[in-house]
Homo-oligomer: A and B are copies of this chain.
Amino acid sequence: MSTRTELERFSINQMTVRQLSLPELADACGRLGIGQVGLWREPVQSYGLAKSAKLVRDAGLTVTTLCRGGFLTATDPDERAAALADNRRAVDEAAALGTDTLVLVSGGLPPGARDLRAARGRIADALTELAPYAGEHGVRLAIEPLHPMYASDRCVVSTLAQALDLAERFPAHQVGVAVDTYHVWWDDQAPAQIARAGTAGRIHTFQLADWTTPLPEGVLNGRGQIGDGVIDMREWRTHVESAGYTGPIEVELFNETLWAGDGHAVLAETARRFVAHVIRRT
């Protein structure tokens, strides 16, 4: 059994147990001694923003992140304006939920485009508008580099180095990065980039998923349960902590097998795995 102290750093990302409604999740967290959750915009919107904010507040839960804004690579002016407006709404929602961190997934190449660098340039432009807006609302934007296998269709920012090149144009309290083990574990430059981010106070969230193979079709829902794959979680925890990060550690799994299971059991097991593979010394 995990103790409350062992779960102090743990945050459960809502997507890991998306089969649970928000009230079910809040209730289950209470019973397991879990004090932190990462939320997603869609389930929050369908439950109602104000109602969601009240629910987590009443349950004594801290909202560690809101996922997610971004998708800022469109070239079409109308699409671009719509994306910026949607990201301002995401900042408002984060503020209403009481979280200080909005995770950004940058977006992929627009149809027919082949220029990753130009797409990254459009993200930089968009941040020029969004970063001050976020700062005024007490929300930090966390640029999340996604694994290079998503570079064309989901996120043209593939490495922490690229994410930091974007983030460093703005104050750290406006823009930083999300470090997610699933996306960076393969990258021998990542430890140095984590140090670079930490020194500047730009590690705005630390998320975990394990790397398991074979990858499923579309490679989206193969994020492995902690301990099932090849990632040394303690090593990555050491990297972010050596860089000065002392914040929550969020477990975010997209996994069809876990989603098909009982949400309460998956949550309990995820907490147990977190303690066994991230917290306790071997």
Q: Which of A1-9, A121-129, A226-234 contacts B (4 or more CB under 8 A)?
A: A226-234
- Chain B CB within 8 A of A282 CB: no
- Chain B CB within 8 A of A265 CB: no
Q: Which of B115, B188, B216 contacts A162 (CB 8 A)?
A: B188
Q: Are A152 and B217 in contact (CB under 8 A)?
A: no
Q: Are B230 and A109 in contact (CB under 8 A)?
A: yes
Q: Are B148 and A149 in contact (CB under 8 A)?
A: yes
- Measured between alpha carbons, how far is A213 from B159 in the docked complex, in Å? 20
- Per-residue contact bits, chain A 119-161, to B (CB 8 Å; 1 contact, 0 not): 0000000000000000000000000000111011100001100
- Per-residue contact bits, chain A 84-111, to B (CB 8 Å; 1 contact, 0 not): 0000000000000000000000000100
- Report copies per complex: 2
Q: Are B188 and A152 in contact (CB under 8 A)?
A: no
- Measured between alpha carbons, how far is A162 from B186 in the docked complex, in Å? 12
Report the nearest B residue to A148, measured CB to CB.
B186
Q: Are A229 and B152 in contact (CB under 8 A)?
A: yes
Known contacts A148-B148, A149-B149; A117/B188 CB under 8 A: yes
Least CB distance from A78 to B in Å reads 23
Chain B neighbourhood of A188, CB < 8 A: 116-117, 159, 162
- Measured between alpha carbons, how far is A213 from B152 in the docked complex, in Å? 8
- Chain A interface helix/strand/loop/mixed: loop
Least CB distance from A194 to B in Å reads 16
Chain B neighbourhood of A213, CB < 8 A: 152-153, 218
- Measured between alpha carbons, how far is A98 from B138 in the docked complex, in Å? 66
Q: Which of B151, B158, B217, B230 contacts A113 (CB 8 A)?
A: B230
Q: Are B114 and A151 in contact (CB under 8 A)?
A: no
Q: Which of B117, B149, B185 contacts A215 (CB 8 A)?
A: B149
- Chain B CB within 8 A of A256 CB: no
Chain B neighbourhood of A149, CB < 8 A: 147-149, 215, 219
- Chain B CB within 8 A of A79 CB: no
- Chain B CB within 8 A of A77 CB: no
- Chain B CB within 8 A of A187 CB: yes
- Chain B CB within 8 A of A245 CB: no
Known contacts A153-B213, A217-B214, A219-B149; A232/B114 CB under 8 A: yes
Chain B neighbourhood of A114, CB < 8 A: 230-232
Q: Which of A147, A211, A219 has the most CB of B within 10 A?
A: A219
21 example contacts (A-B, Cβ-Cβ < 8 A) are as follows A109-B230, A113-B230, A114-B232, A115-B232, A147-B148, A147-B149, A148-B186, A149-B149, A149-B215, A152-B229, A152-B230, A158-B187, A159-B188, A162-B188, A213-B218, A214-B218, A215-B215, A215-B217, A215-B218, A217-B217, A219-B219
**5 closest Cβ contacts across the A-B interface?**
A151-B186, A148-B186, A217-B217, A149-B149, A214-B218
